Amino acid sequence: MDRTAVMTWIAEYERAWRDMDTAGLDRLFTPGARYLRSPYDAEPLVGLEAIREFWVDATPFTMSAEPVAVDGADAVVRVEVQYGGDAPQEYRDLFVLRFAEDGRVEHFEEWPYWPDKPYTAASDDATVERPAEA
């Protein structure tokens, strides 16, 4: 894969998402693709049917994307999504992708971040204590 091929895949992903084209997901993902909605997702969605069931969302959105890294079959893409509708929302995301030889994704992992959410596990402004060095 190169950057152009990765961004072509991203454009097709955006088009399919916007059009709710779940039938077209077989052009994007391999039959046994693993789809993690977060890097901590204990149970990834596995296979096209599981991805189809999760994927439909009629909320209008805009999306922009740029590749961060492409190395062989692996790619990382920075994505920004802005949802419209009754409750506008935006988030930034990293897509970690592993492509099969046929150009479809066999492993999809999202690292989503929302505005005004903490970037640490601390629930307040208290300083997070670090373990003492040995």
CATH number at residue 86: 3.10.450.50
The set of residues, in sequence order, having a beta carbon less than 8 Å from that of 15 and lying 6+ positions away, is 21
Residue 121 belongs to a domain: no
Give the N- to C-terminal CA distance of the chain in Å, as an integer: 44
Q: Convert the pLDDT of each residue in 89-132 to its tens digit.
A: 888 999 999 999 999 999 999 998 888 776 666 655 544 454 55
Residue 18 belongs to a domain: yes
Q: Please say whether the beta carbons of 112 and 38 come within 8 A.
A: yes
Which residue type occupies 111? W
Number of domains in the chain: 1
Residue 66 belongs to a domain: yes
- The pLDDT value recorded for residue 122 is 60
Q: Convert the pLDDT of each residue in 13-54 to its tens digit.
A: 999 999 999 999 999 999 999 999 998 888 999 999 999 999
Residue 29 belongs to a domain: yes
Residue range(s) defining the domain that contains residue 49? 3-113
Give residue 5's Cα distance to chain centre: 17
Q: DSSP letters along 84-121, please?
A: -SSS-EEEEEEEEEEE-TTS-EEEEEEEEE-TT--SSS
